Amino acid sequence: MTQRPWLDHYPTGVEHELVAPPFRHMPDLLTAACTTYAKQIAFTQCMPNGMNGSLTYAEIDAHSDAFAAYLREELKLEAGDRVAVQMPNCLAFPIVAFGVFKAGCVLVNTNPLYTASEMTHQFSDSGAKVLVIIDMFADRLPEVVAATPIQTVVTVRISEFFPKPVAGVIRLVQKVWNRSLPKIEVEHTAFQAALARGRAQTGKAEHYLGGVTLDSIAALQYTGGTTGVSKGAMLTHGNLVSNTLQMLQMLGTNIREGKEIVLTALPLYHIFAFTVNLIGFFHMGARNILVPSPRPPGNLKRAFENYKITWTTGVNTLFNALLNERWFVDNPPRHLVGSAAGGMALHESVAVHWREVTDTPIVEGYGLTETSPVLTFNPLGGQVKDGTIGIPVPSTDIRCVKDDGTDAAVGEPGELVARGPQIMKGYWQRPEETAESMLDGWFRTGDIAEMDAEGYFTIVDRKKDMVLVSGFNVFPNEVEERIAAMDGVLEVGVVGIPDEKTGEAVRAYVVAGEKPPTPEQIIAHCRESLAAYKVPKSVRFVDELPKSPIGKILRRELRAEAVTSETASIETQGRELS
């Protein structure tokens, strides 16, 4: 039997097991919120200059009903058909996502910054018949549509549902000043026209859900493709409903029904913001402040100034970036209740600084695309341990296993494996890879972790990111944490590079702040607290680090750069010798 020492650290009122969800599927959960909070504002889209538009819960309900009818009645889609959605955070996003669910179709979230080849892969792999895309990126459509099963394209404006004068100004700026609106050279339907056609239909959304259950696929959420080709994780209605309730259970009374204002800076197409912000906070009657892009961090200034933000979610790089903005430090959000971090390791130095500046808690959780995503959380109202990912959410078991499949001892590293109602159904059309991801019924995360005596887990690092120096394991997170704590360091990424003597050596890539340390000082600092084989052999200063859409540092690109630079160096030396 799996030991659960973490149960002793659940806050008062948190059940050990998740009760049976009171919803038949995702539309049940969404409609319940729309009925309860009908007149309240559900979403406000805030542009960097403060221009904004809003929709109530009742309006979201009506518009998503219309979009569901458009899909089923006008386009004749059937239950289970896939609909790709390629948009940044905007008011159209929840309408389309919820409409897809209500139609009994399957949502395929797609990064709007994808290249034509990445779009082609995802749409072909998923078999998506419909694409809803922001018009700013329509220049890729001729190449993509011709090579995929896409039959219908619906185009969305970034200013959908803004007051007409404001929307007109935004459109004018896009056309004339930014020139960010390419000509759309494929047959397409404007979003508002699609909604109008849906409203003209006599079909009712509830009629489309007759065969939809908690076990039905709700979304194909594609992995980042860090270990190979991107795969579609089949997330069911039950996965998403369960994980929403698991996450909210751990937050307890810290989330007040109908009263929260959450800043959504992370992209909604990413599983973190999709489940936590879009679904979780919507279920609780919160007002989501949608920011299309958090980069540069100054894009968030008007959102913080104009709205009484009570919650924010983000990744380490986002919180760190805000802490390096003078406007944020001088005038931190006065109504903030708490912040939730995920997506990558939250550096202890960032967590401490965030609490000092905002005088509010920040807690770290953990999950993956395949787990809907939340597996663990530091419990607000309970014991919070900085540097850990907290404890498993209700109805979730986690173990650390060694390479031979046996359980690692307390404090000993091993691959983190998990089971619970939030674990995906499998990878879309990839039975072999689905089987490889499981270990006797447990999902293999690919992350190396340790569990302490109280059941709190610490991610040591990604298994594939581990650096092997003379046979010794070096985990980049540990080295990054030491360097990030130094004054004058904004960001740091650590990778292994080839080395003739030790197999691999540690290299640190550093983004400098004011009065940065020298490479020699960084290396000396690491020697004070790290074993010799963990100390960086080299330090490179760079203007910026490569990041994923949510701000996670992409070590694979740093490794590629390191290999390229080393090869170039060898070639240069060879020419000099000849």
Q: How many CA atoms lie within 13 A of 427 on its CB side?
A: 17
pTM for this prediction: 0.86
Q: Which own/partner contact pairs does 326-335 have at CB distance under 8 Å and 24+ positions apart?
A: 327/298, 327/301, 328/297, 328/301, 328/304, 328/357, 329/357, 332/357, 332/358, 332/359, 333/304, 333/309, 333/358, 334/308, 335/261, 335/308, 335/309, 335/310
DSSP designation for 369: G
CB 8, CB 377: distance < 8 Å: no
**Contact 209/25 with Cβ under 8 angstroms?**
yes
In a domain, 91, yes or no: no
At position 125, the amino acid (one-letter code) is D
Q: Examine residue 445 and state whether it is found in any structural domain, yes or no.
A: no
Three-state helix/strand/coil letters over 433-478: HHHHCEECCEEEEEEEEEECCCCCEEEEEEHHHCEEECCEEECHHH
Q: Is residue 573 part of a domain?
A: yes
pLDDT at 400: 96
Q: Which domain holds residue 502?
A: 466-577
Cα Rg for the chain, rounded, in angstroms? 24
Nearest CA to 158 among 133, 177, 176, 178? Answer: 133
CB–CB of 152/132 below 8 Å?
no
Q: What is d(CA 375, CA 423) in angstroms, rounded to the nearest whole number?
A: 9
Q: Residue 491: give its domain's CATH number.
A: 3.30.300.30
CA distance 49 to 163: 15
Encode the chain (578 residues) as per-residue pLDDT tens digits: 568 999 999 988 899 999 888 999 999 999 999 999 999 999 999 999 999 999 999 999 999 999 999 999 999 999 999 999 999 999 999 999 999 999 999 999 998 988 898 899 999 999 999 999 999 999 999 999 999 999 999 999 999 999 999 999 999 999 888 888 999 999 999 999 999 999 999 877 778 999 999 999 999 999 864 445 789 999 999 999 999 999 998 888 889 999 999 999 999 999 999 999 999 999 999 999 999 999 899 999 999 999 999 999 998 889 999 999 999 999 999 999 999 998 877 888 899 999 999 999 998 999 999 999 999 999 888 899 988 999 999 999 999 999 898 999 999 999 999 999 999 999 999 999 999 999 899 999 989 999 999 999 998 877 788 888 876 778 888 899 999 999 999 999 999 998 888 888 999 999 999 999 999 999 999 999 888 889 999 999 999 999 987 888 898 899 888 877 764 443 433 344 33
Residue 341 token pair: 């971090």
Closest by alpha carbon to 265, among 368, 340, 196, 191? 340
In a domain, 540, yes or no: yes
For residue 174, how many other CB atoms are within 10 A of its CB?
17
State both tokens at 214.
């908690």
Rounded CA separation 93/115 (Å): 20
Residue for token pair 């239950």? 79
6 and 456 Cβ atoms separated by less than 8 Å: yes
- Cβ atoms of 364 and 390 closer than 8 Å: yes
In a domain, 45, yes or no: no
Measured CA to CA, the distance from residue 197 to residue 149 in angstroms comes to 23
pLDDT at 228: 52
Tally of CA atoms within 13 A in the half-sphere of 111 that contains its CB: 21
User: Is 363 contained in some domain?
Assistant: no
The two three-digit tokens of residue 349, written as one number: 């130095």
Tokens (6 digits) for 578? 């000849």
Tokens in use for 326? Answer: 């003078």
Residue-level pLDDT at 261: 98
Q: Is 502 within the bounds of a domain?
A: yes
Number of domains within the chain: 1
What is the β-pairing status of strands 414-419 and 397-401?
antiparallel
User: Could you count the other beta carbons within 10 Å of the beta carbon of residue 184?
Assistant: 16
CB of 241 closer than 8 Å to CB of 29: yes
Residue 493 lies in a domain: yes
